[in-house]
Amino acid sequence: MTHSIKDNPITDKKAMHQKTIADIIAGLNAGEFTSVEITQHYLNRIKQLDGTYNSFITVNEESALAQAEAADKRRAEGDAPALCGVPIAHKDIFCTNGVRTSCGSKMLDNFVPPYDATVVENFANAGAVVLGKTNMDEFAMGSSNETSFYGPVKNPWDTNTVPGGSSGGSAAAVAAHLTPGATATDTGGSIRQPAALCGITGLKPTYGRVSRWGMIAFASSLDQGGPMARTAEDCALLLNVMASFDPKDSTSIDREVPDYTANLNQPLDGLKVGIPKEYFEEGLNPGTEQAVHDALAELEKQGATLVSISLPHTKLAVPAYYVIAPAEASANLSRFDGVRYGHRCEDPKDLRDMYMRTRAEGFGDEVKRRILVGAYCLSAGYYDAYYRKAQQVRRLIKQDFVDAFEQVDVIMGPTSPSPAFEFGAKGDDPVAMYLEDIYTIATNLAGLPGMSVPCGLVDDKPVGLQIIGNYFDESRMLNVAHQFQQVTDWHQQAPTGIDVEGAE
Partner 1 sequence: MEWETVIGLEVHAQLATKSKIFSGSSTAFGSEPNTQASALDLAMPGTLPVPNEQAYRYAIMFGLAIDADIAKTSVFERKNYFYPDLPKAYQTTQLEKPIVGAGHVEIELADGTKKSIRIHHAHLEEDAGKSLHEDFHGMSGIDLNRAGTPLVEIVSEPDIRNAEEAVAFAKKLHSIVTSLGICDGEMSQGSMRFDVNISVRRPGEEFGTRTETKNLNSFRFMEDCIALEVERQIDLIEDGGKVVQETRLYNGDTKQARSMRSKEEANDYRYFPCPDLLPVVLDNDYIESIRQTLPELPDARHDRFMEQYGLSSYDANILSGDANMAQFFETAAKASGDTKLTANWIMGELSARLNAEDQSIKHSPVNAEQLAGMITRLVDGTISSKMAKQVFEAMWNGDGNADEIIEAKGLKQVSDSGAIEAMVDEVIANSDKQVDNYRNADESKRPKMLGYFVGQIMKASKGQANPQQVNEILLKKLNDLI
Residues with a known catalytic role: 91, 166, 190
Determine contact, residues 277/118, Cβ cutoff 8 Å: no
| Choices 36-44, 210-218, 236-244, 265-273 (CB under 8 A): range interacting with partner 1 | 210-218
| 360 sits near partner 1 (criterion: CB under 8 A) | no
| 305 sits near partner 1 (criterion: CB under 8 A) | no
| 379 sits near partner 1 (criterion: CB under 8 A) | yes
| 99 sits near partner 1 (criterion: CB under 8 A) | no
Biggest CA–CA distance in the chain, Å, is 70
Q: Which is nearer to partner 1, 10 or 345 (CB)?
A: 345
Residues 6+ apart with CB under 8 A from 428: none
Report, in Å, the least distance between residue 277 CB and partner 1. Answer: 32
Query: Pairing between strand 201-204 and 224-229?
Result: antiparallel
| 378 sits near partner 1 (criterion: CB under 8 A) | yes
Residue 382, helix vs strand vs coil: coil
Report, in Å, the least distance between residue 322 CB and partner 1. Answer: 15
Residue 495, helix vs strand vs coil: coil
| 183 sits near partner 1 (criterion: CB under 8 A) | no
Quote the CA–CA distance of 181 and 227 in Å, as a whole number.
7
| 108 sits near partner 1 (criterion: CB under 8 A) | yes
Quote the CA–CA distance of 47 and 41 in Å, as a whole number.
10
Q: Which is nearer to partner 1, 76 or 351 (CB)?
A: 351
The candidate with the shortest Cα–Cα distance to 40, out of 119, 100, 148, 129, is: 129
Q: Which is nearer to partner 1, 254 or 504 (CB)?
A: 254
Determine contact, residues 41/503, Cβ cutoff 8 Å: yes
| 137 sits near partner 1 (criterion: CB under 8 A) | no
- CA distances 121 to 25, 82, 291, Å, are 20, 14, 39
| Choices 107-115, 174-182, 258-266, 292-300 (CB under 8 A): range interacting with partner 1 | 107-115
| 115 sits near partner 1 (criterion: CB under 8 A) | yes
Pick one of 5, 76, 351, 487: the residue that binds partner 1 (CB under 8 A): 351
Determine contact, residues 62/49, Cβ cutoff 8 Å: no
Quote the CA–CA distance of 490 and 295 in Å, as a whole number.
10
| 34 sits near partner 1 (criterion: CB under 8 A) | no
Residues 6+ apart with CB under 8 A from 502: 13, 14, 16, 17, 41, 44, 45
Peptide bond into 105 cis (omega under 30): no
Q: Which is nearer to partner 1, 382 or 423 (CB)?
A: 382
Pick one of 88, 130, 216, 236: the residue that binds partner 1 (CB under 8 A): 216
| Choices 13-21, 218-226, 413-421, 482-490 (CB under 8 A): range interacting with partner 1 | 218-226
| Choices 108-116, 313-321, 363-371, 471-479 (CB under 8 A): range interacting with partner 1 | 108-116
Helix (H) or strand (E) holding 435: none
Pick one of 46, 129, 215, 317: the residue that binds partner 1 (CB under 8 A): 215
Residue 387, helix vs strand vs coil: helix
Query: Pairing between strand 272-276 and 410-414?
Result: parallel
| 217 sits near partner 1 (criterion: CB under 8 A) | yes
| Binding footprint of partner 1 on the chain (CB under 8 A) | 94-95, 101, 103, 108, 111, 113-115, 117, 212-217, 219-221, 247-251, 327-328, 330-331, 334-337, 339-341, 351, 355, 375, 378-380, 383, 387
